[in-house]
Amino acid sequence: MSVLTAWLETGWLAFAAMAILWAETLLLSFLSQSPMARFKALAGGALAGTFLLAALAFALRGNALGWVLAFLTLSLFAHLLDVAGRLKDQSAALSRNTEKLSSPAVVTQRR
């Protein structure tokens, strides 16, 4: 148990989780039929997760609160960019279906 405690206190457990996160991202991308498209889809979330894990690593050390704040801020920005990229691709799916009907009021009244 002392090895696990040492990894927690030094923050190395979070860095190991980062390595696993990126290995999983690369493996899933490599196994896809379109590796670059899959990597682009997964990279934003992996980047945000990496920044969160880095913040955790510095928080576990307990002496670098400035770095914790910096990495949490970077994680927020990475998350916002990831969401913006996902919404850009889905703008057509978010539009209202009534715009496609020839006479929406008639169809609504029949229901």
- pLDDT digits 0-9 by tens, 32-86: 999 999 999 899 999 999 999 999 999 988 888 899 999 999 999 999 999 988 8
Percent with pLDDT over 70 in the chain: 79
Q: Give the global pTM.
A: 0.72
**Secondary structure, 3-state, 3-47:** HHHHHHHHCHHHHHHHHHHHHHHHHHHHHCCCHHHHHHHHHHHHH
